[in-house]
Amino acid sequence: MENIERQVQLPPEAQGLNEYNRYYAFDGERVIATYVLSDGNDPRKGQRYWLAKRQDLPLVMDGGCGIVNVIYDPLAKRVDETFCNGVA
């Protein structure tokens, strides 16, 4: 988590990193992360979670930059992709 969060550059439309609850899971040789923007009343705002499997990640089909997706290559120690969800 630390390596990912040190490197990740959120899209310009996104909020700051600590505005998101951040969920991570391994998917084969990659780490997939889903960042979910917290509403102002969420006491868990800015929390981080390692999940047992990718299927446990939050699944949101739209949401724009309220949902940020990150793909990390732990072997290369680099963030390969960061993008916001689309908008329905």
Residuewise pLDDT in 10s, the chain (88 residues): 899 999 999 999 999 999 999 999 999 999 999 999 987 777 678 899 999 999 999 998 889 999 999 999 999 999 999 999 988 7
For the chain, the domain total comes to 1
- pTM exceeding the 0.85 threshold for the entire prediction: yes
Pairing of strands 67-73, 48-50: unpaired
- Domain ranges, residue 39: 2-84
Place of tokens 């997706």: 69
Q: Which amino acid is at 83?
A: F
pLDDT at 87 (0 to 100): 86
